[in-house]
Structure 1
Amino acid sequence: MQMWKPFFCVLAVVSLGGVGCDSKPALDVVPASGTVFYDNQPIEGVTLTLVPQEGVKGRGGYAVSAADGTFKFQASPEAEGVVPGKYLVLFQKYTMPDGSPIPPGTSAADANFSNELSEVYSQPDQSPIYTTISDAGESDLKFELTARPQRRL
């Protein structure tokens, strides 16, 4: 029995080390998806960022729009969906200075990226766009951006 004591001690420590560890996100998230438009046309390559407003737990969420303008928010690379609540929404679409898409593998240090959307959409103190994600989630969010946006007053 004496030789088994170290084995049982190691087993106990290893077993307790996993207590409280879980791959589930720390906060409950719900699905949130939709479509982004620019001057009434679906737009590809827009990065959407959710900035939590008062009372919303967590860090918000992000998404990138597909060719048809659709997107799905995620709270982190491992967690698809976001915490329910009210968010300010920011939008950016980076391209090369000539307007062409950014080549794969290009870093910000290698290129002088340009945001194709009005700066109003990317500034937290100016963006006029908010959304609320319900406790059940959202599947039909619709954001309509224009070449001449109105600043938040």
Structure 2
Amino acid sequence: MQKINPLLCTALILALASIGCDGGTTYEVVAATGIVLLDNKPIEGVSVTLVPQRGIKGRGGYATSASDGTFTLQSEPEVEGVVPGNYMVLFRKYAMPDGSSVPPGTSAADANLINQLPEIYSHPEKSPIYATIPPTEPGGLSFELSSRPKPGRR
């Protein structure tokens, strides 16, 4: 299990929040849903983050998986859907240091939360996972993670 560096986490959040900030311009989004599996089983509570690649307008997308592993991406708190295009996908599943569930309202920095997924899935310089959101509604994304990932090529 990997401990979360609060400074790195804060820097990543700020970087993602600033991507596409343009004084209120809105972009057309398409609905995007999917499922995340770990070792071929649905996994609950996984934070899914889409990081826009070159040429994508907007901020990307995010979601949290339900008990059956499904998720619905959104680009803003009140906007379901994401801008079509290519994205790097990052995954995190936080837990308390003892492995228990995170109580509602708990801050990652204050609680020393740990990421229960292998680091390769949450690190922007190591993630081997990319997704393309087509301009028409996609049929659904499927991400199959492994608790023992093989080093990927980028």
Bigger radius of gyration:
1
2:54 corresponds in structure 1 to 54
Structure 2, unmatched stretches of 5+, are 1-23
Quote the residue 1:71 is aligned against: 71
After superposition, the C-alpha distances for 1:105-143 in whole angstroms (9 at most, x for unaligned) are: 222343110000000000111111001000012242100
Query: Identity of paired residues, percent?
Result: 61
Cα distance in 1, alignment partners of residues 149 and 118 from structure 2 = 7
Give the equivalent residue in structure 1 for 2:120.
120
Alignment pair present for 1:82 and 2:82:
yes
In the superposition, relative to structure 1, how do residues 72 and 105 fare at CA in structure 2: closer, same or farther (>3 Å)?
same
State the superposition RMSD in angstroms: 1.5
Separation in 2, partners of 1:89, 1:57? 16
Q: Structure 1 110/91 Cα, relative in aligned 2: closer, same or farther at 3 Å?
A: same
Q: Please report how far the alpha carbon of residue 95 of structure 1 lies from its aligned counterpart in structure 2 after TM superposition.
A: 0.4
Calculate the TM-score normalised by the size of structure 2.
0.80
What CA distance in whole angstroms lies between the structure 2 residues aligned with 1:125 and 1:107? 25
Displacement of 1:149 in angstroms is 1.4
Divergent runs of 4+, >3 A: none
Q: Give, as a single letter, the amino acid of the residue that structure 1 aligns with 2:135.
A: D
Partner of 2:103: 103
Alpha-carbon distance, 1:41 to partner: 0.3
**1:36-81 C-alpha deviation (Å, 9 max, x unpaired):** 0000000000000001111111110000000000000000101100
- Distance, in Å, in 2 between the alignment partners of 1:105 and 1:78 is 20
Unaligned 5+ segments in structure 1 are 1-23
TM-score by length of 1: 0.80
